[in-house]
Chain A
């Protein structure tokens, strides 16, 4: 029994006091993979030249609409990058307008609940507020939930991991029916780039372990655990240097691009090219490709390229 189900029972039976501690049973969950097939035949959609919400509307439509991913009554977890106490124009966090639009699409398909969180780097309340995420999520009745406490995380095994064999993962990732990963493309001092796979570092508790034990291998390892059902890469305002935190708005280039795919390796590869680099510059992409998490061979994929 996980923490939240326990909690519900505990409240029901009036023993709330006992539940305040950390109830993190070792949940052994096998890698859950998406079985979504591309009805339109597209593996990846790239959109260019519009506002974040408009680009998403166009992009998701060409993938067959959100209904392919979200069914009536589903609970959805949306994982943007909200890691930094920075405002929108710095490109340090995912564009709130995009997250808002994704939530709206989920509700339109009858989602029961849409949860949004990040295990932030800066103080979490400041990140949630100043990134504009809190306002955006609340406006469309999504639930911005905390990720700042170990008690929200449960131990899991990463069966296919080479260096990362165990991790503590946020309960919303473990419990939700649909997982939508919404990273922002940015330069990154150590990982070179942060995109979709790197964004998953924000769903685990102990990031220091990754940094100590071959960062690139750990990033690829964790991508085998729970592949997001959908990855939406925000390349609207792109931090071209000094990432992932950035120093000034001068580091930011307005590229006005968006990439959508269920293949996390493909979407990272495409984003790398948008940034102007190749996968050889970003070691974890090659590792993940070799581990068959997805493919970096974009020429084998059916890619929709839309301009607005």
Chain B
């Protein structure tokens, strides 16, 4: 055995990145996420890439550093920066305790992995990031945290709040979880089962077959400056290195490492008795060449398959984005689109960029952001939407704009956010308490931050009136509306976000205070 400093560095880095990302999603009281999501997620490849396409700059160039890192050091991203990779390593580490079986060289499944990568890129080129939504490791990791891990911490936090309360201490906040999202949970559960199962038995198989980021870096790492290489003269073919290789990419019989699958975990370096496996500059060696077993025939086959699956999928992704939500006895069917967060520009921009990582959902202080199902169409599954049954968008809040790592929600100043019109309130007089019950209500106007909804005389009562061009669609009116079973006021989504007029400011109240008491 030899000292394995590289592995130690890798382990420490991976735990650091894992913690940083996890903290953002778990952050029960939402104290960290708004200010730290930028730096903590800077190097996450897919979010950074998507954001860069929208706002190119040094602040979004994290993915370029990752590519440079890969060109120099190989797939170190997969072993230290990618949180889903680290999760798999933890599962593998645990599995070592229970399973006697050792890793064994596995032939590369190039067809599948490059087919998936190709498909994802193709989908991006035709304008949907549906592939990334399903397969981006960061987003998948985020959804798992949002669905399973955060609730545990919220539960613990609330338990602690109660315990402190008995000592009359109110330093911690109780956190309410508004609703449980079935689809999102099932989705994350499926992913988790696949990832845990694969990593328990086969180490990094997920990264080397399914993950499109892994496949992309696989291609780049062929040309990396540094590689893990076997000194063929000194190697006696004992197979120790192969038995610890999580990527199952070391073939000790022919003394070869498939670097396209090597994630630079450095486990092999420490086990070799003869010190004949090393991590070195090796520009000359052409990797991957030896493993091109399948020849040109399979390539045609593979392109055909992609073609077929793309055609079949494109039928699905073009699902109309419109769905029926609001049905009322007295009013004809109202067609309603989902309402996307302020800063997301339009439903189109949002669905193009969002990979459903759910960071905004976990960070939203009012929890108005909830995972959608088919509201954005099939290709926008699980995208966040504003759910005014749960809550409404706080007028003075810009958290989701500041945390979004992909640029799906673009950051703007609070002043500007307050004028982003994500939808417009629509009033249905026939449903309103004032008309049906003949009593005062006004809950909607009460909550309206811009007075787009205000009360006007109606018989001897007052009834709401909507001024559409100053409405920003925050949903406060819809949330507050008490009429049953249907709301009397609801927000109709803007497919393309607009800019609302500034709230009307009347003159300064001039009347001077009376000198005397009026009684």
A31 on the B face (CB < 8 A): no
CB <8 Å contact, B446 and A245: yes
A302 on the B face (CB < 8 A): no
- Over the window 486-519 of chain B, the binary record of Cβ atoms lying under 8 Å from chain A Cβ atoms (1 yes, 0 no) is 0000000000000000011111110101000111
Q: In the complex, which residues of chain A have a beta carbon less than 8 angstroms from the beta carbon of B447?
A: 121, 245
Interface residues in A147-198 (C-beta closer than 8 Å to B)? 148-149, 188-191
B397 on the A face (CB < 8 A): yes
CB <8 Å contact, A305 and B517: yes
Q: In the complex, which residues of chain B have a beta carbon less than 8 angstroms from the beta carbon of A130?
A: 396
Among B462, B503, B504, B518, max chain A CB count under 10 A is at B518
CB <8 Å contact, A126 and B365: yes
Residue in B168, B366, B455 whose beta carbon sits within 8 Å of that of A113 in the complex:
B168
Q: In the complex, which residues of chain B have a beta carbon less than 8 angstroms from the beta carbon of A255?
A: 513
A215 on the B face (CB < 8 A): yes
In Å, the complex CA distance between A197 and B397 comes to: 30
A248 on the B face (CB < 8 A): yes
CB <8 Å contact, B162 and A19: yes
CB <8 Å contact, B170 and A250: no
B294 on the A face (CB < 8 A): no
- Over the window 43-79 of chain B, the binary record of Cβ atoms lying under 8 Å from chain A Cβ atoms (1 yes, 0 no) is 0000000000000000000000000000000000000
CB <8 Å contact, A211 and B482: yes
B292 on the A face (CB < 8 A): no
Residue in B445, B505, B513 whose beta carbon sits within 8 Å of that of A254 in the complex:
B513
**Closest CB in chain A relative to B378 CB, distance in Å:** 33
Interface residues in A8-22 (C-beta closer than 8 Å to B)? 8, 11, 16-17, 19-20
Q: In the complex, which residues of chain B have a beta carbon less than 8 angstroms from the beta carbon of A121?
A: 446-447, 480
A46 on the B face (CB < 8 A): yes
CB <8 Å contact, A273 and B395: no
CB <8 Å contact, B454 and A148: no
CB <8 Å contact, B174 and A149: yes
CB <8 Å contact, A189 and B462: yes
A145 on the B face (CB < 8 A): yes
CB <8 Å contact, B166 and A7: yes
CB <8 Å contact, A274 and B518: yes
In Å, the complex CA distance between A218 and B449 comes to: 25
Interface segment among A50-58, A102-110, A221-229, A236-244: the answer is A236-244
CB <8 Å contact, B162 and A16: yes
Q: In the complex, which residues of chain B have a beta carbon less than 8 angstroms from the beta carbon of A220?
A: none
Residue in A85, A190, A283 whose beta carbon sits within 8 Å of that of B396 in the complex:
A85
CB <8 Å contact, A250 and B509: yes
Residue in B159, B396, B509 whose beta carbon sits within 8 Å of that of A20 in the complex:
B159
Residue in A20, A85, A125, A241 whose beta carbon sits within 8 Å of that of B506 in the complex:
A241
Q: In the complex, which residues of chain A have a beta carbon less than 8 angstroms from the beta carbon of B455?
A: 189-190
Interface residues in A247-263 (C-beta closer than 8 Å to B)? 247-248, 250-257
Q: In the complex, which residues of chain B have a beta carbon less than 8 angstroms from the beta carbon of A38?
A: none
Q: In the complex, which residues of chain B have a beta carbon less than 8 angstroms from the beta carbon of A244?
A: 446
B267 on the A face (CB < 8 A): no
Interface residues in B433-484 (C-beta closer than 8 Å to A)? 433, 437, 439-443, 445-451, 454-455, 462, 480, 482-484
**Closest CB in chain B relative to A182 CB, distance in Å:** 19
Q: In the complex, which residues of chain A have a beta carbon less than 8 angstroms from the beta carbon of B159?
A: 16-17, 20
B165 on the A face (CB < 8 A): yes
A213 on the B face (CB < 8 A): yes
CB <8 Å contact, B394 and A122: yes
Q: In the complex, which residues of chain B have a beta carbon less than 8 angstroms from the beta carbon of A303?
A: 519
Residue in B443, B451, B517 whose beta carbon sits within 8 Å of that of A242 in the complex:
B451
Which of chain B's residues has its CB closest to A217's CB?
Answer: B439
In Å, the complex CA distance between A125 and B175 comes to: 10
CB <8 Å contact, B441 and A215: yes
In Å, the complex CA distance between A209 and B443 comes to: 11
**Closest CB in chain B relative to A168 CB, distance in Å:** 15
B176 on the A face (CB < 8 A): yes
Knowing A11-B166, A125-B365 touch, does A188 contact B446 (C-beta < 8 A)? yes
B158 on the A face (CB < 8 A): yes
Knowing A121-B446, A241-B506, A250-B505 touch, does A270 contact B519 (C-beta < 8 A)? yes
Q: In the complex, which residues of chain A have a beta carbon less than 8 angstroms from the beta carbon of B442?
A: 188-191, 211, 215
- Over the window 33-57 of chain A, the binary record of Cβ atoms lying under 8 Å from chain B Cβ atoms (1 yes, 0 no) is 0000000000000101000000000
Q: In the complex, which residues of chain B have a beta carbon less than 8 angstroms from the beta carbon of A217?
A: 439
**Closest CB in chain B relative to A172 CB, distance in Å:** 11
CB <8 Å contact, A7 and B165: yes
CB <8 Å contact, B365 and A123: yes
Knowing A190-B441, A190-B462, A298-B519 touch, does A143 contact B168 (C-beta < 8 A)? yes
A144 on the B face (CB < 8 A): yes
Residue in B170, B391, B503, B511 whose beta carbon sits within 8 Å of that of A146 in the complex:
B170
- Over the window 127-166 of chain B, the binary record of Cβ atoms lying under 8 Å from chain A Cβ atoms (1 yes, 0 no) is 0000000000000000000000000000100110011011
B326 on the A face (CB < 8 A): no
CB <8 Å contact, B462 and A123: no
CB <8 Å contact, A126 and B397: yes
In Å, the complex CA distance between A254 and B508 comes to: 11
Which of chain A's residues has its CB closest to B160's CB?
Answer: A16
CB <8 Å contact, B397 and A252: no
B93 on the A face (CB < 8 A): no
Q: In the complex, which residues of chain B have a beta carbon less than 8 angstroms from the beta carbon of A215?
A: 439-442
CB <8 Å contact, B503 and A247: yes
In Å, the complex CA distance between A122 and B447 comes to: 8
B173 on the A face (CB < 8 A): yes
CB <8 Å contact, A241 and B509: yes
**Closest CB in chain B relative to A79 CB, distance in Å:** 16
In Å, the complex CA distance between A46 and B482 comes to: 37
Taking A247-B505, A273-B519, A303-B519 as given, write out 14 further A-B residue pairs in contact, using a Cβ cutoff of 8 Å, ordered by the A residue number.
A16-B162, A85-B395, A190-B441, A211-B443, A211-B480, A242-B451, A242-B454, A242-B506, A247-B451, A253-B511, A253-B513, A256-B513, A257-B513, A270-B519
10 nearest A-B residue pairs (beta carbon): A190-B442, A208-B482, A189-B445, A214-B439, A211-B482, A273-B518, A189-B455, A212-B482, A211-B443, A189-B442
10 A-B pairs, CB-CB below 8 angstroms? A16-B162, A20-B159, A122-B394, A123-B394, A191-B442, A208-B482, A211-B441, A215-B440, A242-B506, A276-B511
